[in-house]
Amino acid sequence: MHERSLHEHAEALRKGEYTCTELTHHFLDRIRKHSDLNALITLTEELALEQAIRADERLARNEAEPLTGIPLVHKDLFCTRGVLTTCGSRILENFVSPYDATVVRQLNQAGMVTLGKTNMDEFAMGSSNENSYFGPVANPWDRKRVPGGSSGGSAAVVAARLAPVATGTDTGGSIRQPAAFCGLTGIKPSYGRISRFGMIAFASSLDQGGVLANTAHDAAAVLASMSGFDERDSTSLSNTVPDYLAILQKPLRGMKAGLPKEFFSAGVDPDIQKAIEEAVKVLEHLGVRVVEINLPNCNASIPCYYVLAPAEASSNLARFDGVRYGYRTTNYTDLSDMYETTRTEGFGAEVKRRIMIGTYVLSSGYFDAYYVKAQKLRRLIAQDYLQAFEQCDIIVGPTTPTTAFHIGEKSDDPVKMYLNDIFTSSVNLAGLPGLSVPAGFDRNGLPIGLQIIGKYLDESSLLNVGHQFQQHTDWHAHIPRDLT
């Protein structure tokens, strides 16, 4: 049952092959069976069964929507009413949200069933899911390796077939990179396409919610329900949400794909380069014309990102002070000491590092030298993409320079860890949509991701290309050996 796609589950539920309640029990049992992955922080069994019963009632009345009764998990920074929302941090270890994030509310209204909240890098800061207060998540393809981050828990759940789909967030690659590491389809839509209300902020100008699924078809169905204008989010766009599913079958003939030479540097693993070259041949077979393009400033995206994102984080995380909610130290002498000790005990090492960097670059005497310069560079990166899209409709290349690495392998070298986002962070800086789809395996049997980048608000083309690619390949259909 768990090997079926979201679309196949929806068909089976409508035909009465099994009930939503039976499907929910099946996935809850699988989650408990594979708890060694440490992929979930909270299992919402009671809520899930209540939602499943309501979904069965909607199906019986012929009032079901396409996603009614489909189980999912949420990344644990989407506020969920009456449920723990921890952000993978000690400082929110016992925080129960009093309201639902817009994404959660919209998917609840669509009739989906929430199985739980997934493990993640603390406050979405990380590329390996080793920075969680609740411990690292294991990659289902090799439990000694990382699943990627910060949405690593969501990726591990879907890759292990513990749920058909998961929500995630992407600030510099945190959906696409774990999708690549775990052999999944992961999409980060354009900035503003999905409401950030109730999505606890890391870097407000970069964060965007998205989907991790097994196929582009499944991702399109969920993305459509997540998207849309929200008056409670000032960055939310009022643009009409396209019918993503209707566009999936559009032929690719005549489309132009840009291949940036900067994405094929000496740092790319040879197995990945070979897999991407083979994937490009598939696209050419489907009628896509490939042209070489330049993104001259994209190699500067990592230093640019790691100035701007920490700067925004230092501001956003100032609210966690032990006064209003969350963890508060029991050992302090006065208010100032309470602030300092609470944050010292409540935040992990990576979060503290980024707060310190962010505070430094925003400080007097360094603001112009670092923050303002990074903002100017961000504009140049965005202009590079605008110029590139004058020559092509989409941009393709590797999602990551390497496949999943061993747990602990890069923990002592933050810069080496940050370089995992070399091909993804520029997309966030420019506010563009990005999709990662499975494109092969390396010599160790680890998944490889093909990244497809689109024009602003053109998620449709990415999903169309991803779907057509998956109609002619079977990389997305592979399941970790011991989890079938």
Catalytic residues: 75, 150, 174
DSSP character at residue 442: -
| Average pLDDT of the chain to the nearest whole number | 96
6-257+390-483: CATH architecture: Alpha-Beta Complex (3.90)
Mean pLDDT of 12-28: 97
> How large a percentage of the chain has pLDDT more than 90?
95
* Per-residue pLDDT tens digits for 288-310: 999 999 999 998 999 999 999 99
Of the pLDDT bands very low, low, confident and very high (cuts 50, 70, 90), residue 266 is low
DSSP 327-358: ---S--SSHHHHHHHHHHHHS-HHHHHHHHHH
* Per-residue pLDDT tens digits for 300-354: 999 999 999 999 999 999 999 999 999 999 999 999 999 999 999 999 999 999 9
pTM of the shown model: 0.96
Strand partners, 440: 448
Rg of the chain over Cα atoms, rounded to whole angstroms, equals: 21
- In the chain, the amino acid numbered 186 is G
pLDDT > 80? residue 470? yes
What is the pLDDT, as a whole number, of residue 481?
A: 85
**Domain ranges across the chain:** 6-257+390-483
* Per-residue pLDDT tens digits for 71-123: 999 999 999 999 999 999 999 999 999 999 999 999 999 999 999 999 999 99
Of the pLDDT bands very low, low, confident and very high (cuts 50, 70, 90), residue 264 is confident
Spatial separation of the C-alpha atoms in residues 44 and 22, rounded to whole Å: 16
Contact call for residues 163 and 29 (beta carbons, < 8 A): no
Pairing of strands 394-398, 165-170: unpaired
Question: Could you tell me the CA-to-CA distances from 371 to 62, 207, 311, 360, 376 in Å, in that order?
Answer: 55, 18, 8, 10, 9
DSSP 251-279: --TT-EEEEEGGGS-TTS-HHHHHHHHHH
